Structure 1
Amino acid sequence: MAGDVVDLIMQDHREVERLFDELKENPEKRKGLVPVLTTLLSAHSRAEEAEVYPAAAAEAGEADDVAHSQEEHVEADQLLEKLAGTDPDSANFDKVLQDLIDAVSHHVEEEESKVLPGMRSNLSAERLAELGEAFAASRKEHLGEQPDDITREELLQQARNADISGTSSLGKEELKEKLREQASE
């Protein structure tokens, strides 16, 4: 049994915060830790988008906060790609890392103060456990992926989560662009 989805999500948040600290405090570990961070955040995001956000929006009454959270995932994916493409020994790495830390920290704070409490108060313990199983399975399936490994179907799910209509006929690159535009508004 995986556990309560809210607890699992918060465990991932704490692990990401630990990795951020490690990246800031130990520059010599950056080359090895950046891929760990990008794969963990990518798997976490895809699992939330596929399993958690649809339930939070439809069953827990969190549609507006889910749409906002989805936009923040798109922004985080862009920042993760930028971090992965930045030489850890370059002077620019610290700025790119801090931009990512700021964006993800903001997202975590909002998610933990709005979406997750809404789920905990509006969904049964059984439903939270079911979502925990689904989240854990989806997260495991996506481990090893990088932000750019996203599929067209996953981009369509992001669009649904963000409440963006008129996307079903768009190709993968058009979807990415539409999501990025929405996230930057």
Structure 2
Amino acid sequence: MAGDVVDLIMQDHREVERLFDELKDNPETRRNLVPVLTTLLTAHSRAEEAEVYPAAASEAGEADDVAHSQEEHVEADELLEKLAGTDPESAQFDKVLQDLIDAVTHHVEEEESKVLPGLRANLSAERLAELADAFATSREKHLGEQPTDITREQLQQQARNADVSGTSGLGKDALQSKLREEASE
């Protein structure tokens, strides 16, 4: 695979930004583009959570930034769910879209200034290439999923990434509530 995991993540970031621009500038495309956006962001997030964040935390010394990034993923999932449930022709759509854009833009800026440079500085080129393959495989596996398709196992991974304890005995709904509560603090 060409490049490394940082390159792949940043390519997705640029594509999400392009989709945001399209959604803002061309309201007539919204009905068709919202599922594309939610699918891409969901697959991207799940691949980062499963493959990249654990390595960034344990191998690159980025545990605090990973925990913060994971909380932002939980927030983005909530906003994606809200956007997907909002009529693209309603007045509310623009506000929900802008809330999502603001949250994701903030997340991308932090990730690209903290976590991703930490990966490049602390992991070998070989390891970054391994993570690229793992990220791409995981991302492909999750394409087509929506934020609501999250499994209990994925929620457990989010809890580990966010350093949230006391979740092993929780059911899916309680675990998701706890993660959302932690993310909103």
Short-chain TM bin: over 0.9
Amino acid at match of 1:146: Q
What displacement does 1:2 show?
Answer: 5.2
How far apart, in 1, do the equivalents of 2:122 and 2:2 lie? 20
SS for the counterpart of 1:15 is helix
What residue is the counterpart of 2:125 in the other structure?
125
Shift of 1:166: 1.1
Q: CA deviation at 1:5?
A: 0.1
2:138 counterpart residue number: 138
2:27 corresponds to which residue?
27
- The residue type equivalent to 1:176 in the other structure is Q
**What TM-score do you get using the length of structure 1 for normalisation?**
0.99
Could you say which residue in structure 2 is the equivalent of 1:11?
11
Moved over 6 A (4+): none
**Which segments of 5 or more consecutive residues in structure 1 lack a partner in the other structure?**
none
Equivalent residue number for residue 69 of structure 2: 69
Matches within 5 A, 1:1-185: 1=1, 3-185=3-185
| Residue-pair matches, total | 185
Letter in 1 for 2:9: I
* 2:44 match: secondary structure: helix
Partner Cα distance (1:55, 1:32) in 2: 35
Percent identical residues: 85
The answer to whether the Cα contact below 8 Å between 1:77 and 1:147 also exists between their aligned partners in 2 is yes
Partner Cα distance (2:2, 2:87) in 1 = 37
Question: Any gaps of 5 or more consecutive residues in structure 2?
Answer: none
Alpha-carbon distance between aligned partners in 2 of 1:128 and 1:174, rounded to the nearest angstrom: 35
- SS in structure 2 of the partner of residue 88 of structure 1: coil
Question: How far did 1:3 drift?
Answer: 3.2
CA RMSD of aligned residues (A): 0.5
